[in-house]
Structure 1
Amino acid sequence: MASDPGIRALPLRERPVDIGFALVFSAFTITSIISDMLPTLGVDISHPSSNPIVNSNYWYAHDTDPLFMHPPTWMRICTGLSAFVYLPFYVLLVIALVRGWQWIQLPAVIYATMIVTLTGIVIFGVELFGEPEWVTPRPGKFLAFNLPYVLLPVLLLIRMRRPDPFSRRF
């Protein structure tokens, strides 16, 4: 994946896929702040609240993801990764996508691998197959809300598969 320092990135307007990725990962930045910091910091989202951010998380957890409502320690570690590790990466990724910085390629591959491993295997496995026993999986809604968080990093991984990914159209 080594890039040639002499190769220049195409202008952003000629890389529409990167515009799409920049928009999606900008949204991921917001969801990391709004959704993942709350369970990480121990904010109680197990009942409705007058706080709109807490209430939106309660709605999501109650209707879609009961594990999120009462997160075990391992889940708080996963949300903590999103809130404090992925969040700064999202900011750097968006800037790198817009500017065509080739060095983001390896960090993007590492990120996508982590997401597929943690979200795709651990969280989906627990949500879909149970454990802890008190959680009632709601696979249809859960997948509808959370599948993009795994699929989009996989698409990013595919985007970053070639040397100098910003020097050619996708």
Structure 2
Amino acid sequence: MSIPLRERRYDWFFVVAFTTFACTSLVIDTANMVSRPNPHSHNPIARLLYAQIGGADPLMMANPRFVQLSVGFVSALLFGGFYLVLSYAFVRGREWIRLPAIFGAGMVVMATGLYLAVLLLGDAPLFSLACGPDSSFDYKSPSALHSVAVNAPYPLVAVLLVARLWRSHPFTHPVRDG
């Protein structure tokens, strides 16, 4: 029988984090999937997104196809739903979530790491190589601190999730011999 959530007080952190991440994925990332953030958009979420990150995240503002697919489709539809499942599993102490959560955490670390790498390091040399010397656009963020502050919680919580679920039975008391 699983330990009740009231006795797993540190798991509240994960429940709150997953619920927050589900909201950001399902609301913000869905807006990025269907349209570009724009101050004149009919979509209030697109206007909010533009107002919040307009100058800090040129990659999100440009919204190229790979961002629509990775941030939009993958984060909004796959991760957003998965965060809700994680919240449920943590509240109810469901052990079946262990392996999917570990794989999901790896996906979050990889996806966010790639996105942050483009924001922090830029990608002008890659675009120049792929698109020719006339392509000089770079998605490098003018504010590395802002980029890290907004994006780092996702892989950080993912790593903490793996540590939390490392035991084979993370939601039950260990069986004692004797």
TM-score tier by shorter-chain length is 0.7 to 0.9
User: How many equivalent pairs are there?
Assistant: 160
Aligned runs of 1:46-85 on 2, under 5 Å?
46-49=38-41, 51-79=43-71, 80-85=73-78
Alpha-carbon shift at residue 78 of structure 1 (Å): 1.0
How far 1:50 sits from its partner (Å)?
A: 6.4
Where does residue 138 of structure 2 map in the other structure? 134
Q: Distance in 2 between matches of 1:93 and 1:109?
A: 11
For the pair shown, the structure with the greater C-alpha radius of gyration is 2
Shift of 1:150: 1.3
Unaligned runs of 5+ in 1: 1-7
Query: Which residue in the other structure is 2:157 paired with?
Result: 152
TM-score normalized with structure 2 length? 0.83
Residue in 1 that maps onto 2:88: 95
Shift of 1:33: 1.7
Structure 1 residue ranges, 4+ long, deviating more than 2 angstroms after superposition: 46-52, 132-136
Q: For residues 37 and 78 of structure 1, do their structure 2 counterparts lie closer, same or farther at Cα, with a shift above 3 Å needed?
A: same
Matched residue type, 2:55: D
The corresponding residue for 2:128 is none
Matched, 1:109 2:102: yes
Distance across 1 between alignment mates of 2:119 and 2:151:
11
* Alpha-carbon spacing, 1:134–1:72, altered in 2? closer, same or farther (3 Å): same
Alpha-carbon displacement from aligned partner over 1:36-74 (angstroms, at most 9, x marks no partner): 111212x12143556532222102331321100112221
Structure 1 length as normaliser, TM-score? Answer: 0.87
Which runs of 5 or more residues in structure 2 are unaligned?
A: 125-136
User: For 1:154 and 1:9, how far apart are their aligned partners in 2?
Assistant: 23
1:134 is aligned with what amino acid? Answer: D
CA RMSD in angstroms, aligned pairs only: 1.8
Cα separation, 1, equivalents of 2:112 and 2:46: 22
CA distance in 1, matches of 2:54, 2:99: 37
The aligned amino acid for 1:17 is Y
- Label 1:168 to 1:17 Cα distance change in 2 as closer, same or farther (>3 A): farther
Measure, in 1, the Cα distance between the counterparts of 2:155 and 2:119.
Answer: 14
Q: Distance in 1 between matches of 2:8 and 2:169?
A: 13
Measure, in 2, the Cα distance between the counterparts of 1:158 and 1:143: 22
- Percent identical across equivalent pairs? 35
- Deviation digits for residues 86-129 of structure 1, max 9, x if unmatched? 11211111111000000000010011000111111x11110100
Contact 2:118 2:139 in 1 (8 A): no
